[in-house]
Amino acid sequence: MEIVLISLLNGFVYGMLLFMLASGLTLIFSMMGVLNFAHASIYMLGAYAAFDVTRLIGFWAALIVAPVLCGAIGAAIEIYGLRRVHHNGHIAELLFTFGLFFIFERGVQMIWGMLPVPYRVPPLLDFALFRVYGSNFPAYRGFMLLISGGMLLSIWLLLTRTRIGLIIQAALTHPNMVSSLGHNVPRVFTTVFAGGCFLAGLAGVIGGNYQITEPTMASALGPIVFVVVVFGGLGSLMGCFIASIIMGMIQTFSVIIDGSIADLVKGFGVSIPSDNLLGEILNVPGSRVGPLLPYALMILMLLVRPRGLMGNRDT
């Protein structure tokens, strides 16, 4: 029971982190049709920028400076890059961000080196918030929940209570109609792209010291974020939220499952040898299958319901 509760908490923290990345990506993807491959690279950049700002000024300054920097980079990518290739179609835009992904990965290695950087939790937040069944729940995870929850609330307020939010919502489902009504859709695009990158940068600031700040963090997290976006469905922030939490829970709960399918049938007196491929697949413990489950779920979702969990149109 205790391990279930702790995993539930951890899964929620991880899911919220995923949502911070995926919410920006899903807004960009739904409006512009661009699947931004460099989105996780912006997350990585946010973590590295936060590391540098923390070293120079302090963590609280990093919490503001790094996301703003990432938002500015996002705006620059949209204005100087994506607009230029826009007339060549969505594939060209996707490939443009695909190229950016390589440059960011190598650029980060060139500036900060190949090894992880010591970006740590600030001492002010480095204590145990409460104890559940004898194990500590770090205060920093509570802080992460606070930040991501606050972000969720402000996004919701922005989208439903402000004029720009209404235009964004309209552009999500009917981009052509919005431009016909005389709104400056390219500027809305830039705003959303910069906003998405701001959120990714913020996720990098609070996620970089929760996980490890290293050059491979973008390629490790990037595919999972895509899975969340496709699984949640186009044009739906709610679907994206549910998908993020599901993926977060899968990642944390699979770690604690030791058994395999072979163990399951062993109870019925059947033993499966693991010397061939099928036997091996059946004998793999759940904890090792965990990282694969999101991809399997995404493939299943695309086969059964291509519009995703709560999407309003096909991917």
Partner 1 sequence: MSAATTQTTAVGRFKGHGKTWLWVGLVVVALALPWVFFNYQTGRHSGFVLTMLSQAGMMILFALSYNMLMGQAGLLSFGHAVFFGLGGFSTIHFLRAAGNGTLPVPMELMPLLGGLSSLGFGMVFGAMVSKQRATAFAMITMGIGELVGASAIMFHSFFGGEGGVNADRMIERSLFGVNYASPVQVYYLIVAWTVIGVVGMLFLTRTPLGAMANACRDNFERAQFMGYDPRRVRFFQFALAGGFAGIGGALHAITYEIVTFDAVGAGLSANAVLMAYIGGSGTFYGPILGAVLITLMQSGVSLMSNSWLIYVGVMFIGIVAFAPGGLAGMIEIHGPIARAGRLTRLIVPYIRLFFPAFAVLIGFIGLVELMSFLTIGAAQGKTLELFGNKIDVKAALPWLVSLGCLVPGGLWLWFESRAFGRVWDRLTEDLKERDR
The residues that touch partner 1, with contacts defined as CB under 8 A, are 29, 33, 35, 81, 84-85, 88, 90-92, 94-96, 98-103, 105-107, 109-115, 219, 223, 226-227, 230, 274-277, 279-281, 284, 288, 291-292, 295-296, 298-299, 302-303, 306, 314-315
How far apart are CB 11 and partner 1 at their closest, in Å? 21
**Residue 104 near residue 45, CB atoms below 8 Å:** yes
Give the shortest CB-99-to-partner 1 separation in angstroms.
4
C-beta neighbour count of 180 within 10 angstroms? 10
With 0-12 / 13-18 / 19 or more C-beta atoms within 10 angstroms meaning exposed / middle / buried, residue 220 is middle
| In the complex, minimum distance from the CB of residue 113 to partner 1, in angstroms, rounded to a whole number | 5
Q: What is the 3-state composition of the chain as percent helix, strand, coil, each rounded to the nearest 5?
A: 75, 5, 20
Minimum distance between the CB of residue 230 and partner 1, rounded to whole angstroms?
5
Exposure class string for 185-218: b at 16+ Cβ within 10 A, else e: beebbbbbbbbbbbbbbbbbbbbbbbeebbbebb
Phi, psi of 178 (to 5 degrees): -60, -40
- Are residues 219 and 149 in contact, defined by beta-carbon separation less than 8 angstroms? no
Query: Given the complex with partner 1, which of 89 and 150 has the nearer CB atom?
Result: 89
- Residue 102 or 156 with smaller CB distance to partner 1: 102
Instruction: Tell me whether residue 58 or residue 113 sits nearer to partner 1 (CB atom).
Output: 113
CB 218 within 8 A of CB 40: yes
How many helices (H) and strands (E) the chain has is answered by: 15, 2
Q: Least distance (Å) from partner 1 to the CB of residue 239?
A: 15
Considering the complex, state which of residue 101 and residue 140 has its C-beta at the smaller distance from partner 1.
Answer: 101
Shortest gap between Cβ of 35 and partner 1 (angstroms)?
6
Residue closer to partner 1 by CB (options 8, 302) is: 302
For partner 1, give the closer residue by CB, 16 or 192. Answer: 192
User: In the 8-state DSSP scheme, what is residue 78?
Assistant: I
